[in-house]
Structure formats: structure tokens, C-alpha cells
Amino acid sequence: MPSKNANNTSAPCKRIRGARCFSATLDYSLPVLRIGPVQLDSPLLLAPIAGHTDIAFRILCREQGGVGAAYTDLLNSRAILKETERTLDLARTNEFDQPAGMQLYGNSDDPLPEAAIWAVDHGAKIIDINMGCPVDKVAKKSGGSLLLRDCGNTTMLAKRIVDAVTRHTNGRVPVTAKMRLGWDPEHKVAPILARALADIGIAAVTVHARYTVQFFSGSADWNAIGEVVEAVPDIPVIGNGDVTLPEHVTKIMQMSGCTGVMIGRGALRTPWLFRQAKTLLDTGTAGPEPLLGAKLDVVLRHLDLSKEYDGEERALTRMRQHISWYGKTMGHVKPIKESIRLATTFDDAKAVLLAARAEFTDFDFPAVALSRTRHDPHIPTVQHDFLDLTCRNQSSE
């Protein structure tokens, strides 16, 4: 967790490319992130998070501002070519979701080059190869993180994908790789694998700074990303892992020298994090934390976007799954979460959110204030009303 993250110690600005530096004493200039021919407006990327980063959520984050690119969930190359309903759904993109990255997984026996061409033809502006997924379903089939165990074969596979995409697009669409540091600490292959991949034309690498055996435990080792940066000075390295606050973006860049930062779980809680972090990179001061009313607006927008893309039933299911992530940033909103979970229709869920939002039309305050309401006898009445209201909604379900 951020508060315990060993990376949060103040570290010297030791690996800096060009004139960019994020120490308090130097210029806060926005780093430029260019992935092959694709110039991004921001060096901040939304990570693929299977089950969460569907088109509605990607567009939500983009609308909040600060997102340079966003990726689909990992896509199975065989399922892509069969055009299964589920995969077509996961691969959906449109003009509001650009530049779109599509992430593929598989191994040397899978039709990854063909799937990459399919992805390009269906809107991908960046093709990413998953080399980091630790879950059995992927790694047991020799994809994902298992690619870290045989760097030679993995490089040959990546070359076939790069060659196919380059031929198909005249070099217009870059191919990137997303990896962990290695399978375990005895096999920290990320620097040598990244070097080999850069040599065959991979345009950028993202490094989730954990080992496969860690899954998501422990802290991401932001310093270790610096070893990859040193190994591949000719392509961008995108740092990833445990970035949940705007200040983490400058810290991970400062500690590793990476030129881009990818954010996953932090975005599930706070889709506005990209905007805040980009403001920090632009100006040296993080953009303000949205007030509770504004956060509820984001949740409402997410619900509406989900309905637009997936219909009411799935929008409700998605919001039931996602509301706990939002709840983590809003203080004591358990009654809202419970009401959403108990809602049986889209309209019920929306009514809960609208009722909560109505409490904040004239009087708004930072969400953290809400967490004090139950202990502070001097709170404004509106806060009691808010809690009462959400409790009423819950009991009426």
C-alpha cells in the first residue's frame, strides 16, 4: 500500500534522461512519450485490468483528462481470430478511445502475428504483448509471465509479431511489451529481455516492478525499473506498479528514469488521478482532489457510459463490481455501496447515486470530510441528511 511503500522514501534524482528532472529544485517539464511513430499527449497510461478496463471505463478515464493511451484487457489470439462474442466485446474501441492499445497474449504456437493484424484492422494504434500475467489460466498455457522464462523464444515470437505488424502497416503501428521484473528474484530478466526486444523492433516496454511469484504482494520496486531504463536507452520504458497518488508519478520517474507511467488499480479508485498527475507534471503542483459531489458525478458518468456501451443490465452488474473501488476514496459511504449492491435495476442504482448527489448541489466539500461526520457533533445537517438518505434507500430495497 502506498503508505508502506518503500519507494516513498525521498530518493535522489539519479536517473534522468535529457533535461527532465522532477526534483523540487529543478524544472518540472512534461516528459514527452513517443511510442514508435505514435506521439502521446500525456506520458500517463491506463493499464489493462481484466474485468475492469472495458471501453466504458477507458472512455471515462480519458474524459477525466491526462490519459495518454489506454489498453484493452488481455486478448487471446485464437479467440480473436475466431471472433468470439466475448473477445469482440473486449476488443471494442472507437474514436473516443484513442489512441487505443490492444493487448494480446499467447505463446509461440499461437497465431499472435495474425491476431495482431486483426487488432490493427479493428482500431488498435498500439499492439502490446502480455509478458507479465501470473494467473494460471494464462501462464499455464505458456503465455503471460511464462514468456519471461525463455527469453530467446520470446524474442523470436516478438520479432514475428513486429515483422507482421510493420509489413501490414508500413511501420505505422508500434508493438510494445508489458513484463514483470522476472519470474523470481533469482531470474531478474527484464533488463536483458528488454534489450533483446528493443533490438528486434519493440517500440517500448512497460515494467510492472514485481516478480511473477509475488503476484500482487509486497511493494513494486521502482528502483529496479531503472535497470531496464539503463539497458534500453533507445526506447521508452513505462514504469508500473503501486502508483496511486499524483506524487507517485514523479517519484517513480525520479527513481527509475522511466519516461512513461502506467496506472492500474489506482485508476479504478480514482479515474481523475491522471488529470491530477498530469497537472503535477505540467505545473509542479498536483491538481486538486475532486469534491465528493464531483466524485459522485464521475460514478454517475461511469454508470451512464456502461449503459451506453453495454445496456442497463450489464451496467448494473459492472457498477455493483466497481462501487467498492470508488468507495475507498469517498469516506464512509457504505450505505451507498450497499444500496448499489442491492439494487435490482439500473434505475434503482442510478436513483441511489442521484439522491446522494442531490445533497451536494449547493454545498460541496472534500470527500474526506464525510469520514468525520459520524464522530463530529458540529457537522452541517446536510451530512446527516446524506447518510440518512442513503440508509433509507438501502432499507427500501
Binding site residues, ligand FMN, CB under 6 A: 47-51, 73-74, 103, 130, 132-133, 178, 208, 240-243, 263-266
| Residues in Cβ contact with 183 at an 8 Å cutoff, skipping those fewer than 6 apart | 145, 148, 149, 189, 211, 212, 213
Which lies closer to ligand FMN via its Cβ, residue 251 or residue 350?
251
- Contacts of 279 by beta carbon, 8 Å cutoff, 6+ apart: 66, 246, 285, 286, 287
Sign of CA dihedral 19, 274, 255, 232: negative
Between CA 115 and CA 126 the distance in angstroms is 13
Rounded to a whole number of angstroms, the minimum distance from the CB of residue 369 to ligand FMN is 27
Scan for cell 531470474, then name that residue: 187
**Using a CB cutoff of 8 Å and minimum separation of 24, what contacts does 329-334 make?**
329/269, 329/270, 329/295, 329/367, 330/292, 330/295, 330/367, 330/370, 331/292, 331/367, 331/368, 331/369, 331/370, 331/371, 331/372, 331/373, 332/370, 332/371, 332/373, 332/374, 332/387, 333/370, 333/390
Q: How far is the CB of 245 from ligand FMN (least distance, A)?
A: 11
C-beta of 20 vs 248, nearer to ligand FMN: 248
Which is nearer to ligand FMN, 36 or 132 (by Cβ)?
Answer: 132
Would you call 61 a catalytic residue per the annotation? no
Task: State which residue, 261 or 387, has the beta carbon closest to ligand FMN.
Answer: 261
Query: In angstroms, rounded to a whole number, what is the distance separating the alpha carbons of residues 118 and 34?
Result: 23
CB of 268 to ligand FMN, least distance (A): 8
Least distance (Å) from ligand FMN to the CB of residue 11?
19
Amino acid type, 201: G
Closest to 68 (Cα-Cα) out of 319, 267, 283, 329: 267
Cβ of residue 228: shortest distance to ligand FMN, in angstroms? 14
Residues near 317 by beta carbon (within 8 Å), at least 6 away in sequence: none
Closest-CB residue for ligand FMN? 264
Nearer to ligand FMN, 161 or 263 (CB): 263
If one counts every other C-beta atom within 10 angstroms of the C-beta of residue 166, the result is: 16
Nearest Cα neighbor of 235 from 269, 267, 258 is 258
Q: Are 87 and 62 in contact (CB under 8 A)?
A: no
Phi-psi region of 12 (alpha: psi -120 to 50; beta: other; left: phi over 0): beta
Q: Which residue in the block uniquely carries the three cell numbers 499472435? A: 112
- Residue 103 CB, shortest distance to ligand FMN, in Å, is 6
21, 61, 133, 258: which one is catalytic?
A: 133
Q: Count other Cβ atoms within 10 Å, centred on residue 334.
A: 15
The minimum distance between CB 132 and ligand FMN, in angstroms, equals 5
Residue closer to ligand FMN (CB basis): 87 or 130? 130
Quick one: 178 or 357, whose CB is closer to ligand FMN? 178
Give φ, ψ of 204 to 5 degrees.
-165, 155
**Active-site residue set:** 133
